Amino acid sequence: MKSYRFKFSILFFLCICFAKEVYPQSYPNDVSNHPFLVNYWVTGSICGVGVVANYLGITEVLGKKEISSSELQALNKNVFNGIDSWALNLNPSHVNTYENYSTYTVAVSCALPGLLLFDHQIKRDWTDMLLMYMETMTITTNIFEWSPLGPTFQNKFRPITYYTQLPDNQRNSGSYRNSLYSGHVAAVTAATFFMAKVYSDYNPVIGNNKYLLYGAALGPPLFLSYLRVAGLKHFPSDVAVGIGVGALVGIVVPELHRQQGRGVSFGLFSSPEGSGIAMAWHPDFLQQN
């Protein structure tokens, strides 16, 4: 089963990588008003494959067996560092409250890119923006489900399982094996960084003020991270990984669609030691305007 998951992950990643080569087709080259190029067939196919892969992945993630009593008894709080141990010294009576707050935060944050349509230039390309956003979120969720860092391959127990003051039937859910990493935080970060990236590319006149946008884009993910830790769903390191993955996808996916100044390239490499996938990234968003 592990072999199947690994092969599926590589196949999905290769589809994304090689799709980049298909983007340049007959499109107007007016990059001043239309900085992004979206091939509907390619992007739509990625979204379609992503939806199927997401269904298979979420079924696997949510279908884990319950945590046994012996596993609960064997848990050791002393293996965590000082930062992660914070999640083990909270009040478990507020779990449901933080869970509700985090649900609202995810819903509002993932809808924030809709504000881009108030920009008159972006509004003209709303179909392209919608497809790019769908692609971004699809890739984000599939990385969560199919990458080696995600819960399909990891079985890290959530903080709530360590609270012995709670009865076993509140600590033994199979989904409590999914602490690493936070998919909610990754999705929200991808949404807010996508928003900052797209707005910056459509409005290059803002210059270095774009860094303020990226700083603001961290606000919702950091707030959600607090809620997820306080709700005993994740350790701080889990939400940190989620922020990193979401920020990377939220920036790289729009960058792959840039009509000029593309800074991302993929390829295969081979050497006597082995072969694999190579990625080179020269971030355009870090260049001076």
Confidence (pLDDT) at 159: 95
Question: How do residues 145-172 score in pLDDT, each as one tens digit?
Answer: 898 988 988 899 999 999 998 988 889 9
In whole numbers, what is the pLDDT of the chain averaged over residues?
A: 83
Residue 10 placed within a domain: yes
Q: Under a CB-based contact definition with an 8 Å cutoff, are residues 177 and 67 in contact?
A: yes
**pLDDT surpassing 60 at residue 56:** yes
Written as one string, the DSSP assignment of 23-59 is --SS----TTT--B---HHHHHHHHHHHHHHHHHHHH
Locate tokens 């269904």: which residue? 55
Supply the range of the domain harboring residue 207.
2-261
Residues 6 or more apart whose Cβ sits within 8 Å of residue 235: 80, 84, 87, 159, 179, 229
Domain count, the chain: 1
Percentage with pLDDT > 90 across the chain: 52
**pLDDT surpassing 60 at residue 274:** no
Question: How do residues 227-271 score in pLDDT, each as one tens digit?
Answer: 999 999 999 999 999 999 999 999 999 999 887 555 555 555 555
The rounded distance, in Å, linking the Cα atoms of 253 and 246 is 11
C-alpha torsion angle, residues 260, 262, 268, 273 (rounded to 10): 140
Residue 250 placed within a domain: yes
**pLDDT surpassing 60 at residue 55:** yes
Q: Under a CB-based contact definition with an 8 Å cutoff, are residues 157 and 72 in contact?
A: no
Please state the separation of Cα 68 from the chain's center in Å.
30
pTM of the model: 0.79
- Other CB atoms closer than 10 Å to residue 119's CB: what's the count? 15
